[in-house]
C-alpha cells in the first residue's frame, strides 16, 4: 500500500504546477472563429508585454498583457488587418511594444546599441592591454646607476661568501 501511496502523492503535488504552467490564454478570451483566433495568437506573439518586457503578451500572465490581448481580439473582431492592429498598438505605446521593432531613425540606438557597446568594449580592452604591456616593457629596460650596480654586486658577493 505504501508503495502506491508515494507516486499518488507525488502526482497530486505535481498537478497544480502543470496546470499553472500552461498557456496564459484563458478560455473566456478565445474567439469563436478558429481562423480569427489563430490571427489573434499570431499577432499577440509579436507584441511585447510592457510589464514582463521580454515576453510576448501571448505568454504573459500580467494583467496588462491580458488587457492587450483583449484589445487585439476586439480589433480583429472589428475587422482590422494584422498590420492595422499592430499600428494601433504602436500609435499608443511606440515601436517598443513590438518584439521585433522596425529599423528606422527612431530605433537606430535600439538596433545598433549592443553592437556599439561591444565595439567600445573591445577598443577599451585593447587600449588597456596595450598600456599594461608597454608599462611592463619599460620596467624591464630600466638602467641602474653606477652606485646601484656597486650595491647589488656587494650584496651578491656577501651572499656568495656567507
Tens of pLDDT along 81-136? 999 999 999 999 998 899 988 888 887 887 888 899 999 999 999 998 887 766 55
CATH architecture of the domain 21-102 equals Orthogonal Bundle (1.10)
State percent of the chain over pLDDT 90.
Answer: 44
Given this model, what pLDDT does residue 108 score?
83
Outline which parts of the chain fall under CATH 1.10.8.640.
21-102
Residues whose CB falls within 8 Å of the CB of residue 104, separated by 6 or more in sequence, listed in order: 95
C-alpha cell at 48: 511585447
3-state secondary structure 55-118: CECCCCCCHHHHHHHHHHHHHHHCCCCHHHHHHHHHHHHCHHHECCCCCCHHHHHHHHHHHHHH
How far apart CA 161 and CA 142 sit, in angstroms, is 28
Mean pLDDT, rounded, of the chain: 83
Given this model, what pLDDT does residue 135 score?
58
Q: Among candidates 50, 73, 74, which has minimal Cα distance to 63?
A: 50
Given this model, what pLDDT does residue 138 score?
56
How far apart CA 81 and CA 77 sit, in angstroms, is 10
Please, which pLDDT band fits residue 18 given cuts at 50, 70 and 90? Answer: low
Please, which pLDDT band fits residue 27 given cuts at 50, 70 and 90? Answer: very low
Chain centroid offset of residue 71 CA: 26
C-alpha cell at 74: 476586439
Least confident segment among 13-22, 75-84, 151-160: 13-22
Of 156 and 32, which is predicted with more confidence?
A: 156
Amino acid at each position: 500500500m505504501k508503495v502506491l501511496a508515494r507516486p499518488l502523492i507525488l502526482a497530486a503535488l505535481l498537478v497544480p504546477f502543470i496546470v499553472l504552467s500552461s498557456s496564459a490564454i484563458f478560455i473566456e478570451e478565445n474567439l469563436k472563429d478558429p481562423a480569427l483566433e489563430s490571427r489573434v495568437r499570431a499577432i499577440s506573439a509579436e507584441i511585447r508585454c510592457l510589464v514582463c518586457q521580454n515576453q510576448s503578451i501571448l505568454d504573459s500572465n500580467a494583467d496588462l498583457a491580458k488587457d492587450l490581448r483583449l484589445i487585439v481580439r476586439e480589433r480583429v473582431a472589428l475587422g482590422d488587418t494584422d498590420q492595422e492592429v499592430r499600428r494601433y498598438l504602436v500609435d499608443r505605446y511606440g515601436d517598443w511594444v513590438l518584439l521585433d521593432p522596425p529599423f528606422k531613425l527612431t530605433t537606430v540606438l535600439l538596433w545598433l546599441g549592443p553592437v556599439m557597446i561591444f565595439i567600445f568594449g573591445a577598443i577599451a580592452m585593447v587600449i588597456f592591454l596595450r598600456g599594461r604591456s608597454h608599462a611592463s616593457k619599460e620596467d624591464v629596460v630600466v638602467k641602474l646607476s653606477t652606485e646601484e650596480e656597486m650595491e647589488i654586486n656587494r650584496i651578491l658577493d656577501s651572499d656568495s661568501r656567507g
